[in-house]
Amino acid sequence: MASDDAGLGDTGVDPADLVARLTFDDAGLVPAVVQDHESRDVLMVAWMDADAVVATVREGRTVFWSRSRGQLWRKGETSGHVQHVRDLRVDCDADTLLVTVEQVGAACHTGERTCFHRRPADLVAADPSGTPAEVTS
pLDDT digits (tens, 9 = 90+) for 32-80: 999 999 999 999 999 999 999 999 999 999 999 999 999 999 999 999 9
Model pTM? 0.83
Q: Give pLDDT, residue 5.
A: 43
Structural domains of the chain in order of their starting residue, each with its CATH number:
9-124 (3.10.20.810)
Instruction: Name the nearest CA neighbour of 64 among 116, 25, 99, 38.
Output: 99
Report how far residue 43's alpha carbon sits from residue 59's, in angstroms, rounded to the nearest whole number: 20
Report how far residue 58's alpha carbon sits from residue 84's, in angstroms, rounded to the nearest whole number: 12
In the predicted structure, residue 129 carries a pLDDT above the cut 80 = no
Report how far residue 134's alpha carbon sits from residue 7's, in angstroms, rounded to the nearest whole number: 46
